[in-house]
Amino acid sequence: MSRSNRYYLAPDLVITYPDGQPQLILPSVKRTFKVDWKVCEIISMFSSEDTSLQPMFSESMVTSIIDHLVKNGILIDRETDHNLATEQIVAEWQDWDESSWFLHLQTKDTKFETTEEGRLQNVDKFRKTSSPPPQYFKCNCTSSSTKLPTPSKLLDQTLVNSFMQRRSCRRFSEKPISLQNLADVLFYSGGILFTNDTHSYGIVAKKPSPSPGGRHATELYPIVNACEGLRSGVYHYCQKHHALHLIEAEEDVKPFLNEVLYGQDYFLNAAVTVFYTSVLDRLKWKYKTSRVYRLMHLETGHYAQNFLLTGTALDLGCFVTAAFKDSVIEEKLGVCGIREVAMYVSGIGHIVPDENTRSDIEYAQVLPEGIEIRLPIGEHS
């Protein structure tokens, strides 16, 4: 059996060229190999449809390189080895692009230190090597910034009712929300409850929403369409001072929102649309593993869930969407898209009343007694 028939390349093999030098990455085993052009020549033997291609090296060199590639799992021997799990995920996830399975495999089963001795060693090493922590909030406040009112206690709505009544709203009226409404959803999503000093990680903020290691990478940028006491425009929410800083006033934000949300015009009448970003340095300072990239998205989801539940408790319509133009948002907010990146979009506003409800819904048998759920005909999700 010829070499090209006996061996095949690992299905999750990725080749990158940092600093112009090739490196091989196998995310399934979390290994990276720096190689030279001779290894790439050998690899090309197994990736070309022309099986007659042979690199211009000595037979002994070719054999030696192939043996090393097999030993490290870059080449798979059809007779003895099969990485079925990796082959299956690459095949099953082919409807998505390669970045999906690569990220999943690269961040899967990340090792964590669980012993007290190991944790203390890690903390000691961190203290010796780390720089001062990045600031846990962004503040652009000036004398013209808008101080938001103290958050409400939301006593008129129970948590159960918020769970049961939350829907993705697609029909917003043009009625403005109050400044108090906006203060509530921003605070209970990303406001700071208190801060405390730690032995090794500096001052950390505690918020209604959880965050990996208390790093809180998320920033909130309200795009105001109709809110009492505020000009229409693009704002930043300063979590430290519970205030809004006007980035750019706009007479009408709807054309911009229509562009950035890919023409989802059913969101345009929302009183306020909120852009979520993540400041990566806050996470990178503490965590040196790519698994935190997963957690960065989860943190944004925690913030958004609190946003939805708070908005529902205020009897407002809410939505979230991941269909947005990241680069357009980042340019509008004046962030670089590298150290601070666009993550998510949500919004709130008054709901257009609809007395006609759908009768084709099937209620779960485990609903708490006395709970009433309605789905207006105009809502499709």
Domains in the chain with CATH codes: 3-107 (3.90.930), 146-349 (3.40.109.10)
Return d(Cα 295, Cα 300) in angstroms, integer: 9
Residue 84, C-beta contacts closer than 8 angstroms, at least 6 positions apart: none
**What is the per-residue pLDDT for 374?**
78
Least confident of 157-161, 231-235, 291-295, 296-300: 157-161
- Beta carbons within 10 angstroms of residue 299's beta carbon: 23
The DSSP symbol for 136 reads: S
The predicted structure's pLDDT at residue 380:
53
* Gap between the Cα atoms of 141 and 301, Å rounded: 26
In whole angstroms, give the CA distance from residue 261 to residue 270: 13
pLDDT digits (tens, 9 = 90+) for 70-83: 999 999 988 877 77
CB atoms within 10 A of CB 273: 27
Residues in the chain: 381
Find the mean pLDDT for residues 111-136.
Answer: 84
**Whole-number Å distance between alpha carbons of 102 and 254:** 37
DSSP class of residue 350 equals P
Cα–Cα distance measured from residue 350 to residue 317, given in angstroms and rounded to the nearest whole number? 6
Which sign does the torsion angle of CA 300, 345, 232, 168 carry? negative
Give the per-residue pLDDT at 286. 92
Alpha helices in 191-290 (DSSP H): 254-260, 280-284
DSSP label of 33: E
Q: Give 26-77 pLDDT, tens digit per residue.
A: 999 999 999 999 999 999 888 866 656 667 788 899 999 999 999 999 999 8
**Cα 258–chain centre separation:** 22
For tokens 């998505």, what's the residue? Answer: 96
pLDDT given for residue 51 in this prediction: 57
Reported confidence tier of residue 163, pLDDT bands at 50, 70, 90: very high
Top pLDDT among 115 and 344 is at 344
pTM (2 decimals)? 0.91
Question: Is 257's pLDDT higher than 90?
Answer: yes
Answer yes or no: are the C-beta atoms of 72 and 32 closer than 8 Å. Answer: no
DSSP 243: E
Q: Which residues pair with 14 in a beta bridge?
A: 25
Distance CA 285, CA 213 (A): 11
Q: Are 112 and 289 in contact (CB under 8 A)?
A: no
| pLDDT for the residue numbered 52 | 62
d(CA 121, CA 117): 6
Rounded CA separation 247/244 (Å): 9
232 exposure class (CB count in 10 Å sphere: 0-12, 13-18, 19+):
middle
Those residues whose C-beta lies under 8 Å from the C-beta of residue 98, and which sit 6 or more positions away, are 14
272-321 pLDDT per residue, tens? 999 999 999 999 999 999 999 999 999 999 999 999 999 999 999 999 99
Question: What radius of gyration do the chain's Cα atoms show?
Answer: 26
Between CA 43 and CA 53 the distance in angstroms is: 11
Structure tokens at 317: 């319509």
In percent, the amount of the chain with pLDDT more than 70 equals 96
Per-residue pLDDT band at 357 (split at 50, 70, 90): confident
Place of tokens 């007395």: 355
